[in-house]
Amino acid sequence: MVNSPVREVPASQVQSNTVLSNVSWSVLEALDDNLAETGARLVYLDGCLEIMVPLSEEHEEPKKLLAQLLEAYMRLKGIRFYAKGSATIGLKQLGARKEPDESYCVGERSKVPNLAIEITVTSGGLDVLEIYRRIGVREVWFWEDGVIAVYALGEQGYEQVYKSQLLPELDIRSLEFHSRMADQFDAVNSFIETL
């Protein structure tokens, strides 16, 4: 009973998560329906269901700060964007489904976002990049403790890159720096000044 291929070690007390195996898409949908009013989030890949329950709102602030910084940048640079927030993406046919922490259509509006942002607070979950690869999200950014890792989708799957391909002019280090600032309002103002 204790042997499992997935090790669950919560990275912090911000969120609890666990992975259940052999769950059908229809049970995923039933659970999703039951949990609609709660903060619980479901990630699904090939029969494995990860359930995440936020224990505090701690990761909301960095998420919203990063979103505001990014949105300020795109607006100032005249780059059209459509914010899709945490809208669920994925399909039964793909066997994969997830709600990004934030997602955007950069450039033009489309059904599937081309940029997904993940705020990492737990380890030991499902392979998020495999889910995004199947859905075909062009770029995935992971933010963890103020450090951003950018992954771009290529022929061989995702590769870590040091510049965003969607926003090649963006200084990722400056974005990271401002995402670590204590005051959300001042951080955005300060970032705008650097642009």
Q: Which residues form the interface with another protein (CB under 8 A)?
A: 1-4, 8, 10, 16-18, 20-24, 26-27, 30-31, 34-38, 40, 51, 53
Q: How far is the CB of 145 from another protein (least distance, A)?
A: 22
User: In the complex with another protein, which residue's Cβ is closer, 9 or 182?
Assistant: 9
3-state DSSP assignment of residue 129:
helix
**DSSP code of 86?**
T
Beta bridge partner(s), residue 83? 104
Q: Are 19 and 8 in contact (CB under 8 A)?
A: yes
User: In the complex with another protein, which residue's Cβ is closer, 26 or 160?
Assistant: 26
- Alpha-carbon span 173 to 176, nearest angstrom: 5
Q: Which of 53, 45, 24, 54 minimizes the C-alpha distance to 127?
A: 45
User: In the complex with another protein, which residue's Cβ is closer, 46 or 171?
Assistant: 46
Measured over all CA atoms, what is the biggest interatomic distance in the chain, rounded to whole angstroms?
A: 56
Q: How far is the CB of 59 from another protein (least distance, A)?
A: 17
User: In the complex with another protein, which residue's Cβ is closer, 29 or 130?
Assistant: 29
Q: How far is the CB of 192 from another protein (least distance, A)?
A: 35
Q: How far is the CB of 29 from another protein (least distance, A)?
A: 10
